[in-house]
Amino acid sequence: MAMITVLGGGRVGGAIARDLAVNHKVMLVDKDSQPLDRLRDYANLSVLQANLSDPDALSRAVHDAQWVVGAVPGYMGFAVFKQVIELGKNCVDISFFPEDGLSLDSLAKERGVCAVFDMGVAPGLDHLLLGYHRARGPVKSFRCLVGGLPEQRTWPFYYKAPFSPVDVLQEYTRPARMRQKGQDVVIPALSDTEYVEFEGIGTLEAFASDGLRSLLHTMPDVESLCEKTLRYPGHVEVIKMLRAAGFFSEEVIPVGDCRVSPMQITEQVLAQQWGFAESEADFTVMRVEIERAVGGVVRYTMADRFDHENKILSMARTTGFSCTAALNAMIDGIFQGAGVFAPEHLGAQDDIYHYMMAYLNNREVYLHRHDADT
């Protein structure tokens, strides 16, 4: 039974801690007591209230851990990931930080640490799929459409956030990096919109977002790389209006006796507007299309739903269990090695790929494959 510390007790971090506590000793750490209170009575699970932006508090939190999971907000994710590596702890991270995780590869090798970043659903599982196929032959193109949405489409946003609203806003402000006909390009977030049909769900709107990340470095021979986020129709236009009106500005302005940025206010307002009620249902939908040089196009689809029995959001399930699949592969000795690894590195190894797929299937997270000749 391994000793694991999970850093961050939000919806996803909580799902990770619950899953790992089935077979391991887990300590869940968060600065707020509310998410910790929900899980205090679980077997094999202890909680610790600590400010993880404080390096000393972080060091104490992981001191006794054999393994660490990073599930903090993206703005602090890289600093936490780096310190965990410096402390010599093997780890898996899902914080979706903007910095390049591969830049810490030399540090991880120096410390003898195995560290995986971006191991969620997307980025994460989609990269794993590409890594699996690229290891078996040349790939011409990769396209991923993915989104997590509330089951009920309600005005004015037609959206709620299954993870940190701060990280969601990054999808709307961070420029999207793509590859088109062999050339890396950067386009504005929320651009290149299109309507896409999904069986059993209906019409969703896809827009450019910055989810390719490590693939732009690890897949230099793939001519086309594209990732888009899915929302209900109407949401993108609302967000574009807020952006154009200055609500996402980081410039500090006077408000009464205080000085704050519009973005700080927007984050607080949307955190209230986008919060899920305790039993409110969501779903996660993903479509990945990989065009192979030989064998045509292979398509994977996922349509996952809220777990009503355990009251776990679908996005927390799909993201969290992807993370715990990778961590258990490390604990069980299926995946070993020193350095920093992206999900496509794991997918390139047949035994790891099949281990993780079986792990997800055992938790009723299914990726359905369909092959079609071009």
Answer whether residue 162 is part of any domain. Answer: yes
State pLDDT tens for residues 233-247.
Answer: 999 999 999 999 999
Answer whether residue 370 is part of any domain. Answer: no
Answer whether residue 372 is part of any domain. Answer: no
Q: Are 72 and 61 in contact (CB under 8 A)?
A: no
Domain count for the chain: 2
Answer whether residue 373 is part of any domain. Answer: no
Answer yes or no: is pLDDT of 21 > 80. yes
Say if residue 307 is in the same domain as residue 322: no
State pLDDT tens for residues 255-295.
Answer: 889 999 999 999 999 999 999 988 899 999 999 999 999 99
Say if residue 189 is in the same domain as residue 86: no
Say if residue 280 is in the same domain as residue 319: no
What average pLDDT does range 85-103 have in this prediction? 97
State pLDDT tens for residues 45-75.
Answer: 999 999 999 999 999 999 999 999 999 999 9
Domain boundary among 299, 314, 329: 314
Say if residue 281 is in the same domain as residue 155: yes
Range of the domain at 276: 125-314
